[in-house]
Amino acid sequence: MSPTVIAIYGGKGGIGKTTTALNFAYLFGADGHRTLLVDANVDQPSARDTFEDMKDDPPYDLTVEENPELLGRIKSAPFDRVVIDCPPSPREAQPAFDAADYIVVPFVPKYMETKAIARTIKDTLDKRRYRLLFVAVTNGMKGRSDQSRETLAGFSVPMFRTIIRHYVAHEKSQSNGLPPFLPDALGLDPHMKDAAEDYGNAYGELLGYLEGGR
């Protein structure tokens, strides 16, 4: 049986793409699925670096793919779940899109970028199963986030209900090699439990979408 493939895509760096890929891969593995995380962002292989820094063996395997065209072969990998940290270029990410059962697009809500991201993902991901995930949302961005959601809804862009709030805990988790879901990570930051909860909720939503929901 072919693995279920989830591609994590964003048109630029610094938008929470690798953090999202790492956390989803961890949760799939923790659920007992044979999971592979593919770091295809070879210019900034953050997933590989984080994997190598982990203090305990993570419940997933990792590979680095330097040739994006080979991502199209991922359906033959001997795993239950494959999470791809895509390259930022839509052209290079195209093989991952073609192999993916679902595409998650992390998005930091900003006034000037909302309509642009709507057009970009419509042009790139039209007729594919995808969903926008709001990430790095601070308390001061709530009004901006609400406005962005309203605008994107007008473009019929599907969105996660869960919002990933901005916490330094995510950076501390990765820099210390401790996923936020581990008890040992709780002492690193007072918001570590909240950070884990956000991604846990998004993961629960993703499972529902994979089972048949849009």
- List, for residues 92-146, the tens digit of each pLDDT value: 899 999 999 999 999 998 777 888 888 888 888 988 999 999 999 998 888 889 9
Q: Is the dihedral of CA 214, 80, 97, 6 positive or negative?
A: positive
CATH number of the domain bearing residue 128: 3.40.50.300
pLDDT of residue 214: 62
Is 191 strand, coil or helix? coil
Helix (H) or strand (E) holding 66: none
Q: What's the one-letter identity of residue 131? A: R
Query: 153: how many CB neighbours lie within 10 A of its CB?
Result: 12
Tokens of 25: 């891969």
Q: Work out whether strand 35-39 and strand 81-85 pair parallel, antiparallel, or are unpaired.
A: parallel
Using pLDDT thresholds of 50, 70 and 90, give the confidence band for residue 33: very high
The model scores a pTM over 0.75: yes
Asked if the model's pLDDT at residue 66 lies above 90, the reply is no
**H-type helices in the chain, by residue range?**
17-30, 46-53, 90-99, 114-125, 142-154, 169-175, 192-210
Rounded to 5, what percent of the chain is helix, strand, coil? 45, 15, 35
Q: What average pLDDT is seen over the chain?
A: 90
**Number of structural domains in the chain:** 1
pLDDT digits (tens, 9 = 90+) for 152-187: 999 899 999 999 999 999 999 999 999 999 999 999
Max mean pLDDT among 43-57, 169-183, 190-204 falls in: 190-204
Using pLDDT thresholds of 50, 70 and 90, give the confidence band for residue 12: low
- Average pLDDT over every residue of 37-60: 82
CA atoms of 119 and 116, how far apart (whole Å): 5
Asked if the model's pLDDT at residue 14 lies above 80, the reply is no
Using pLDDT thresholds of 50, 70 and 90, give the confidence band for residue 11: low
> Domain limits at 144?
4-210
Q: What's the one-letter identity of residue 173? A: S
